[in-house]
Every structure is written in C-alpha cells, then in structure tokens.
Amino acid sequence: MSTVSFARRNTGPELMDTHPFSFEEFRSYLRELERVNRWTLAYRPTLHWLKRALAVINKRRCLSILDVGSGNGDMLRQIWKWAQRRGVDVELTGVDFNPRAKKAAEEATPTGAPIRFETANVFDLAPANPFDFIICSLFTHHLTDEQNVRFLRWLDDHALHGWFINDLHRHPLPYAFIKYAARFLRLNPSVRYDAPLSVARAFTAADWQRLLKKAEIPLTQTRISRWFPFRYCVTRFKS
C-alpha cells in the first residue's frame, strides 16, 4: 500500500474494462459486485436522494429514471422495490457499454418489472425525450477526467429535473479496507484486483469541484456530499 499515491487519480485500467471475460465470468463478476454493494451500503445514498427528487415532480405521473453504467441492474431493482413501497410508478432504464451486462441484468431481473436494459456508449445515447432523472453508481471512476467533464455536460443536457452521481472516495482507508476485506471474503480474483484500484481511480471533493468548473456547471447549483462508508456523491436539481 505504501507505493500507492492518493494525491491524484490512478489511471491504471481495471479488468472489468479491459479483460476479455466470457459471459459466465462476467456474470460472476457482476454478482460479486452486487454482494459488495450490499455490504457497503452502496444503494443508500441514491435511494435517499430519490426521496428528495420526488418533491420536485408531480408524484401522480410515472417517473422516468436512467441508470448509466447499470451493470447487473441491481441499483434499478432496488429503486423498483423502493418505488413499490411508496406507490410510485416508475419507468426504469439501464444502459451499459458491455453487451454482457444487458444479458446478465435481464437474467437477474424479475419478469414484469418496469425495467429495460440497453447496450450503448452513453455519449451516443440521444433519447427522444429527456429522462426525469439520471443516476449512476460506481461509473464515473471508470472515466478519465476529460470524459467526466463531457459526461457532466451530457447529464445536464439529458436530465429534465436533475441527476445524481454516486461514487467512491479516494483515500488510503477505503483502499486498505476493500483490499483486505476482498481477500478475507474470498471474492472473485478479478474483483479482488479491481476493488482497490477502483478506490485509487476515484475522487475527492476537490476533484469534483475542478471537474464541475471545467464542465461549466455552477458549483452553487450542485452539492458534493460525503456518505458513509467511503462515498462522494454529486447532486444537481434543475428547475
């Protein structure tokens, strides 16, 4: 760990983005990530934000939400369950660049759920109508700084009422925690490799402030917040 610098984002590639997994290997990887998401309370910030999001729209109509980098679809399934408990109608869409993700997510999602999955590069995605809200979880650390600036602008162009980014905090403590926890829990070897690297590729509040400024999104119209454990989230509501 002493050789890892946290002064700036690591640019090393993750296996998820570069390794030629078979479908079965990739599905196993995504299932392991879902386990990690449950253990680390990864869904909590997004679901909490959705409570606030409901206050800015007409609750009686169907709420459309896009999840970018949707992977196994577990975030959208959590939102569906959350919406069911509150009597909120939702139309949920997940988009992921990897075609294996679509197949794995569809297998893991109950028939009849109001969730559909697409395979696309988000920058090529141009929906006819904007989504009410766009979210992403553990997606932005896969992008370069330049791509994140472009993504922030894309979010602002395609989210009608607001957007929410949920990602990791770059810091030695979460790096060490996930590195050794992944070994102790005997996670998939690929996940054990990628998990600490994901933290090293992640963000500080200063990173997000810099990226928002480059994207020309006023800091006064956004909120950067820390969430336990080891998360930074970026919020923007639009009138």
pLDDT digits (tens, 9 = 90+) for 159-205: 999 999 999 999 999 999 999 988 888 899 999 999 999 999 999 99
Q: Which amino acid is at 236?
A: R
Q: How far apart are CA 201 and CA 9, in angstroms?
A: 5
Mean pLDDT computed over 31-48: 95
Asked whether residue 9 is domain-assigned, the answer is no
Asked whether residue 5 is domain-assigned, the answer is no
The band of 60, judged by pLDDT with boundaries at 50, 70 and 90, is: low
Six-digit token pair at 132? 């009410």
Asked whether residue 50 is domain-assigned, the answer is yes
Smallest Cα–Cα separation from 10: which of 171, 198, 147, 207?
A: 198
| Domain extent for 95 | 15-237
Tens digit of pLDDT for each residue in 114-149?
999 999 999 999 888 889 999 999 999 999 999 999
Q: What is the pLDDT of residue 126?
A: 82
Asked whether residue 176 is domain-assigned, the answer is yes
For the entire predicted model, the pTM comes to: 0.95
Domains in the chain, number: 1
Q: What is the pLDDT of residue 1?
A: 40
Burial of 125 from C-beta contacts in 10 A (0-12 / 13-18 / 19+): middle
Least confident segment among 16-30, 57-71, 114-128, 218-232: 57-71
**What single DSSP character describes residue 228?**
T
Asked whether residue 10 is domain-assigned, the answer is no
Asked whether residue 201 is domain-assigned, the answer is yes
Q: How far apart are CA 202 and CA 196, in angstroms?
A: 10
Burial of 203 from C-beta contacts in 10 A (0-12 / 13-18 / 19+): buried
Asked whether residue 1 is domain-assigned, the answer is no
Going by their DSSP bridges, the two strands 231-237 and 159-168 should be labelled as antiparallel
* CATH code for the domain of 229: 3.40.50.150
The CA R_g of the chain, rounded to the nearest whole Å, is: 17
